[in-house]
Structure 1
């Protein structure tokens, strides 16, 4: 099990270029852009959402990944949550493999109970531009995400734009994560802490 710690910041569309330029200067090079297509699963009764967890299948340039997360805690844009992630053979969940790795009993039971009724609920499609930033001995993965949340409801496609920065602590002290966010906030106007995950946005979009 991993504990994911990241700061999420809502990024005004008008500031995407400025934020990109800032990261290029801060990290010393152009970021790596990758296209990510994500499918989120739950039961029609939203059993996983009720248990405060989320299940995702992601297509990356290197193949497919499945991820199971707890909602965890979010305060002032800082998200802390349990996460289990692993590669899968193709566009299909491998629930048994997740259950073997999931060492939170309540989360594992919720996934086990939901698994027979899982359906694809909504998608997030976006381009992620990545940099690795070092600060005070810590390594932070910085990302600018640009794209959409999409939900098909009764034959209609609902859409909500994604424009955000994610700063994920890969190693080192959490204080460095907060310091980088503060440094960024001084340079890019209009950034705002965002306590709502992409999964939560998808559920809200589907609910209308």
Structure 2
């Protein structure tokens, strides 16, 4: 099990170029852009959402990954949550493998209960541009995500935009995350902490 610690910041769409240039200047490189296609699963009764967890298949340039994570805690854009992630053979969940790794009993129980009734609820498709930033002795992975959430509801397609900056602590003190977030907010107009995950956006889109 890993504990993910990241700060999520809502990025105004018209500030995308400014944010990109800031990281190019900071790191001396143009960043690494990848396309990520994600499918989120739950039961029709939202068993996983009610247990404050989320289940995802992600297609990356290197293959498919399945990820199971808890909602955890989010305050002022800082998200702290349990996460289990592993490669899978293709576009299909491998629930037994996740259950072997998941070591939080109540969360594992919710996944076991949901498994027979899982359906696709929504997708998130976006381009992620990545940089590694050194901040106060810490290493932080910076991602700018641009794309959309897509949900098919009663034969209609619903869409919501994704435009955000994610700062994920890889090594070092959590204080470095906050320091970098403050620095970015001072330079990018409209950048603001965001406590809503992409999964939560998908559920809200279906509720509309």
Which TM-score applies when normalising by structure 2? 0.99
1:70 paired to 2:70: yes
- What is aligned with 2:26? 26
Aligned counterparts of 1:69 and 1:49: Cα–Cα separation in 2: 11
Residue of structure 1 in register with 2:128 after alignment:
128
- Say whether 1:171 aligns with 2:171: yes
SS state of the match for residue 49, structure 2?
helix
Give the aligned CA root-mean-square deviation in angstroms.
0.5
Distance 1:105 1:137 in 2: 36
* 1:79 partner SS: strand
1:39 lines up with 2:6 in the alignment: no
Q: 1:21-170 alignment to 2 at 5 Å?
A: 21-170=21-170
Distance (Å, rounded) in 1 between the aligned partners of 2:89 and 2:172 = 32
Q: CA deviation at 1:135?
A: 1.0
CA-CA distance at 1:120 after TM superposition: 0.4
Secondary structure at the counterpart of residue 160 of structure 2: strand
Deviating 4+ runs (over 6 angstroms): none
Hey, what's the Cα distance between the residues in 2 that align with 1:50 and 1:186?
Answer: 37
In structure 2, what is the Cα distance between the partners aligned to 1:101 and 1:170? Answer: 21
Secondary structure in structure 1 of the residue aligned to 2:186: helix
Q: List per-residue Cα deviations over 1:144-196 (Å, max 9, x = no partner).
A: 00000000001100000000000000111000011010111111110010000
- Segments of structure 2 that go 5 or more residues without pairing to the other structure are none
Match of 2:201 in 1: 201
Deviation, structure 1 residue 206? 0.6
Which whole-Å deviations, capped at 9, do the CAs of 1:25-56 have from their partners, x for residues lacking one? 11121110000000000000000000000000
- Aligned partners of 1:155, 1:114: CA distance in 2, in Å? 24
1:75-109 deviations in Å (ceiling 9; x for gaps): 00000000000000000000000011101111111
